[in-house]
Amino acid sequence: MVFMGERAGWPAAPVCHTDRFAQPMPLKSPASIPVISCRRPLFSFPVLCLFGALCLQASAQPQLTSWYTGQSGKYARIFTSKENEAAGITSTTWSRGQGNQTSPTYAGVHEIHHDTNWVYIRTSGLGFHVMGPWYLDEAKTRNFPSFPGNTATTYRIPRTPTAFSGNNTTGFGSIGYFVDGVALFDATDTFSYINSSARDGSPQGGGRGDGVWNRDAYINEGVTFDAANAHQAMNLHHYHANAPAIRHLLGDSVDHVDATNVYTENFNGNHSPILGWVADGHPIYGPYAYSDPDDPASPVRRMISGYQKRDGSNASSNLNLTGRTTLPEWANRLQGRATSLASSRHGPSVSTAYILGHYLEDYAYMGDLGLVHGVDFDLDEYNGRFCVTPEFPDGVWAYFTAIEADGTPRFPYNVGRNFYGTPAGGNTNSIPAGATRSFIGGPSKQHNAKETSRAGEVLTLTWDTVEGASYQVEKGAELENWTPAGEEFTAQAITQDTSDALDPGNQATGFYRLKRTGIANYDDSGFDNQFEGEDRDNNAGGGSDNFVATFSGPPLPPENVIQELRIGNPGIPASLVSVDSRTQLTVSFDAAALPAGSHAVYVIFTPPGRPQRTLISTNRFSR
């Protein structure tokens, strides 16, 4: 039987791996038979035990577990031109405008922390998909002025969705983050009509505008979006509307053809996953949900936006006839703006230059026209609804992405003109010392034993690696006297195959481990390299002597049943900070009192009516 490393549920990495070795772990066979340990052969043919590392498990909370980390450790890539896109040539370094990557950097969210009130993410702001190219015109002859870049962002989101407020208008810049670590912008491009000069404000000069008739980003800037409906402000890559790339990665009814870099809507019948989190703490789902908001057994279908153009249908104002002389009712109700406008506040007449839909105020909320929310349309004026979802079986108020049946973005896209709750979240400069780190990836992703295959006497091992990092496979007959198995290699992707010849006649049991030996130069702004960094941070969120310990096998006992906590053997006493899940707890201790080396956490307790037991963490604190 061949044993291999397995991840513990949520795709994350252990907190402590600064000894640069993958830690011993429970392994499983190719037939997916779970195995508790690999102490002895189970059959007469050779047994292989791999040394990988169990990944840190966060408690089952969507705010922590919905972030996309499955490709952590991957370089961010772009197509720099339409020619490279057609040829499939990607770049990991680039330079244009404010987007300058002279060294590769890692894509997506690379750290997740939490405390009682907040979830904190650290992200490069760059997607896992190949981004770009970007142009200013349909013919793709004029380059967009800037490429994206590593923004080294730390962003916090309320751990609990905030209560209804409804009176906070979305602002410029990031109003949340998608689960791939890419920024969420609202529906406007920040420019509006200037009545005195009879033209729009624009990036080319002339000011931002009067703020009365606000331009729709998808309509006015859509030509500059890449295939994934994204572009950048300076170097800040972001989505305004339907985000097909992350939806494709999450299996949300989007197909992608690599050869043409085209995304296509293809409803698969499933409820959409969480696509992102807004600054008010509420999730954004994709476009598909239960038809009955209270019944998870009801059919899944596309959610219908609550907005329509002011074209005279459903008794709406017909701006084609009246001109832009009044504002919709939602502008008064949500923002306190009078619907009747002085002539100095009028917008331009509807024309080919200023089509209906050019401005946000060209849309009416159907609930103001006598149509019924939940009957004629699904989403309220904030672009969401209260409903049960797979992640929130008891119900949650959530935003939804609005699209047409073919995937074309539909107003108001992701978030209405106002937040539903209070946008207390946003960028932050630091993560509090007491916060618990539940994931670390990017250059700090722990290498893992992923798969094995055997052809005759040749064993192929597939490792989960960090792109650009160097590794050495080592083997031993027992858990000592390790020797190199093959040449040192540099990972060219986030998985890497290595092979070794077996010798069943002389060795009944084999053990393999993977040692990280270095990493290629990369843009480390915003990253905390747990391997090569000189000031390595083993703690959960900044406290120098905190450690998040992960366990496999039996669940952890309740806090009041634990009799003793120790780190190391014999080690030193540890104090319990929190029991984070059935397989994870956080401890504190005096790291200076520990000898150099790697130290497991020991949980000692006595179950009712049974002998005393000791659970040993699968990850280790290194000093």
Residue 576 has pLDDT above 70, yes or no: yes
Residue 309, token pair as written in the block:
């153009």
The β-bridge partners of 176 are 184, 278
CA distance 115 to 546: 13
Domain co-membership, 404 together with 478 = no
User: Hey, what amino acid is at 348?
Assistant: P
**For residue range 555-566, what is the model confidence (pLDDT) as tens digits?**
888 888 899 999
**pLDDT score of 25 more than 70:** no
Residue 508 binned pLDDT confidence (cut-offs 50, 70, 90): low
Shortest CA distance to 8 belongs to which of 23, 21, 25, 20?
25
CB atoms within 10 A of CB 491: 21
Question: Do 50 and 187 lie in a common domain?
Answer: no
Which pLDDT tens digit goes with each residue over 209-260? 999 999 999 999 999 999 999 999 999 999 999 999 999 999 999 999 999 9
Q: How high is the pLDDT of residue 34?
A: 22
Please choose, from the candidates 488, 480, 556, the residue with its C-alpha nearest in 3D space to the C-alpha of residue 517.
Answer: 488
Give CA–CA dist 128/106, Å, rounded: 9
| pLDDT exceeds 50 at position 95 | yes
Residue 174 and residue 292 in one domain? yes
For range 105-128, the mean pLDDT: 97
Q: Do 479 and 521 contact (CB within 8 A), yes or no? A: no
Q: In this predicted structure, which of 48-52, 315-319, 359-363, 368-372 has the lowest mean pLDDT? A: 48-52
Is pLDDT at 35 greater than 70 in this prediction?
no
What pLDDT does residue 551 have? 86
The most confident of the ranges 1-5, 129-133, 481-485 is: 129-133
**Among 360, 393, 425, residue at a domain's last position:** 425
Question: Which CATH number fits the domain that encloses residue 19?
Answer: 2.60.40
Look at residue 501 and tell me whether its pLDDT is greater than 90.
no
Q: Are residues 511 and 550 in the same domain?
A: no
Asked if residue 133 lies in contact with residue 85, where contact means CB atoms within 8 angstroms, the answer is yes
**Residue 144 in tokens:** 């967009």
If asked whether residues 486 and 390 sit together in one domain, one would say: no
Residue 43 has pLDDT above 50, yes or no: no
Sequential DSSP letters for 173-237? S-SEEETTSPEE--SEEEEEEETTTTEE-BTTBS-S--SSSEEEHHHHHGGG--TTSEEEETTEE
Report yes or no: 423 and 280 within 8 Å, Cβ to Cβ.
Answer: yes
Provide, rounded to the nearest whole percent, the portion of the chain with pLDDT above 90: 66
pLDDT at 602 over 80: yes
Give the domain extent around 565: 546-622
What is the average pLDDT across 573-590? Answer: 82
Q: Could you tell me the pLDDT band of residue 600, with boundaries at 50, 70 and 90?
A: confident
Any domain includes 60 = no
User: What pLDDT does residue 15 have?
Assistant: 24
Domains in the chain, number: 3
Domain assignment present for residue 453? The answer is: yes
pLDDT at 480 over 80: no
Could you tell me which residue, 589 or 199, shows the higher pLDDT? 199
Query: Could you give the angle at the alpha carbon of 305 between the alpha carbons of 370 and 359, nearest 5°?
Result: 90
Of 190-204, 355-369, 539-553, the range with the lowest mean pLDDT is 539-553
Per-residue confidence band for 623, with pLDDT thresholds at 50, 70 and 90: low
132 falls within a domain: no
Q: Is the pTM of this model over 0.95?
A: no
HEC readout, 279-327? CCCCEEECCEEECCCCCCCCCEEECCCCEEECECHHHCCEHHHHCCCEC
More confident residue, 302 or 552: 302
Whether 300 and 191 share a structural domain: yes
Q: Has residue 37 got a pLDDT over 80?
A: no
Average confidence (pLDDT) over 416-423: 96
Distance CA 6, CA 28 (A): 7
Q: 257 lies in a domain?
A: yes
Indicate if 597 and 454 belong to the same structural domain: no
Q: Is the pLDDT of residue 592 over 90?
A: no
Rg (CA), the chain: 27
pLDDT value of position 239: 97
Hey, what amino acid is at 265? E
503 shares its domain with 556: no
Q: Is the pLDDT of residue 163 over 80?
A: yes
Look at 317 and 452; give whichever has higher pLDDT: 317
Is 384 part of a structural domain of the chain? yes
- 532 within a domain of the structure (yes/no): no
Q: Is residue 407 part of a domain?
A: yes
48 pLDDT tier (thresholds 50, 70, 90):
very low
Confidence grade of residue 619 (pLDDT, cut at 50, 70, 90): confident
450 shares a domain with 412: no
pLDDT tens digits, residue range 253-264? 999 999 999 999
- Expressed in angstroms, the distance from the first to the final Cα of the chain is 35
**Chain position carrying tokens 């979802």:** 389
Residue 541 within a domain = no
CA dihedral (172, 176, 182, 187) in degrees, to 10, reads -50
Q: Are residues 284 and 249 in the same domain?
A: yes
Q: Which position has the higher pLDDT, 229 or 530?
A: 229
The whole-number pLDDT of residue 16 equals 28
**510 versus 207: which is more confidently predicted?**
207
- Please state, rounded to an integer, the average pLDDT across all residues of the chain: 86
Q: How far apart are CA 488 and CA 347, in angstroms?
A: 66
- 533 band by pLDDT with thresholds 50, 70 and 90: low
Q: Residue 101's CB: how many other CB atoms inside 10 A?
A: 23
Q: What is the pLDDT of residue 60?
A: 59
pLDDT at 53: 36
Pair 285, 412 in one domain: yes
Q: Does position 40 have pLDDT exceeding 70, yes or no?
A: no
The answer to whether 241 and 413 are in contact (CB under 8 A) is yes
Average pLDDT (117-146) is 97
| 382 and 497 together in one domain | no
